[in-house]
Amino acid sequence: MITFLLVSFFASVIGAICGIGGGVIIKPVLDMVSAESVAAINFLSGCTVLSMSTYSVGKALIKKEKAVNMATGTPLAVGAAVGGILGKELFSFVKHSVSSPENLSVIQAVALGIITVGTLIYTVNKNKVHTHSVKNKVACVLIGIALGVMSSFLGIGGGPINLVVLYFFFSMDTKTAASNSLYIIFFSQLANLIASVATHAVPEFDTLSLVVMIVGGIGGGIVGRALNKKINSSTVEKLFIGLMSVIILICVYNAVKNFI
């Protein structure tokens, strides 16, 4: 329980600061310590991310903060909600197609590792990349669907790919991208949870683990949101780059551990 609390809390602190939800840390770390089944870790990670993003988005709305561009953020969120459901179905399909839970873990670890490496390379070189300002709502929905599928399938909530997409397609700075990313994550994870309950696809898990991780997620969201206001975009970006490097190493470890 202490492991669950600490992982969910610190992951949510960093997730709230960087706008990556925290699942990108929770999922590989819990896989590394083999805390639960793959399906249970996906579910617990998603619920933790949902609790953190609910607090962060709700607090922003109550304070009437304008960091989220509703003209593009809402179509992205709608797409992410649809993608969250599709990603859950993809996870179920792959889960029943592989011969063992270890193989499923390898697939997720490799996919997350590749995405994280790509994100790190882009982030380090983003000042050299020409960005865009997509306005078309259909394009926003399609981008949101792609984000939702990846986050739901990998059990990471939103993860680093959200920020890269928001940088590249919408020319957002780091802190604005973080706020918009959490807004997208909220809808993606909410849709994923509703779909899991409606289709009776909720895996077996320890209820106390869920409660502890939600408490850690909300607590981390409170602390992370407060810290986000006190640090500049440059510091957020450095934290993000350091985090990506650690996640890549964990993904390599998880892939090798479950492959051998």
Which two structure tokens, joined as six digits, stand for 99? Answer: 């011969």
How confident is the model over 150-175, as a mean pLDDT? 83
Is the distance from CB of 173 to CB of 233 less than 8 angstroms?
Answer: yes
Q: What is the model's pLDDT at position 38?
A: 84
Nearest to 42 by CA among 57, 26, 55: 26
Model pLDDT for residues 224-251, shown as the tens digit of each residue = 888 988 888 888 888 888 988 988 998 9
The overall average pLDDT reported for the chain is 87
Least confident of 65-74, 136-145, 185-194: 65-74
Distance separating alpha carbons of residues 201 and 101, to the nearest angstrom: 16
Nearest to 180 by CA among 159, 163, 164: 163
Q: What is the model's pLDDT at position 259?
A: 81
Model pLDDT for residues 79-133, shown as the tens digit of each residue = 999 998 898 889 889 988 998 888 888 998 899 899 889 989 998 898 888 999 9
The DSSP letter of residue 99 is: S
DSSP 37-87: -HHHHHHHHHHHHHHHHHHHHHHHHHTT---S-HHHHHHHHHHHHHHHHHH
The pTM of the whole model exceeds 0.95: no
How confident is the model over 125-152, as a mean pLDDT? 91
Q: Is residue 176 predicted with pLDDT exceeding 80?
A: yes
Question: Which residues fall within 8 angstroms of residue 57, CB to CB, at 6 or more apart?
Answer: 182, 183, 186
Which two structure tokens, joined as six digits, stand for 159? Answer: 């993860």
Provide the pLDDT confidence category of residue 9 given band limits of 50, 70 and 90: very high
Provide the pLDDT confidence category of residue 7 given band limits of 50, 70 and 90: very high
Q: What is the model's pLDDT at position 158?
A: 66
Is the distance from CB of 21 to CB of 230 less than 8 angstroms?
Answer: no
How confident is the model over 148-169, as a mean pLDDT? 83
Question: Which residues fall within 8 angstroms of residue 137, CB to CB, at 6 or more apart?
Answer: 72, 75
Model pLDDT for residues 179-194, shown as the tens digit of each residue = 888 888 888 888 888 9
Q: What is the model's pLDDT at position 141?
A: 95
Distance separating alpha carbons of residues 95 and 181, to the nearest angstrom: 27
The greatest distance separating any two alpha carbons of the chain, rounded to the nearest whole angstrom, comes to 51
Distance separating alpha carbons of residues 131 and 19, to the nearest angstrom: 19
Q: What is the model's pLDDT at position 121?
A: 93
Model pLDDT for residues 15-39, shown as the tens digit of each residue = 888 877 678 888 888 888 876 888 8
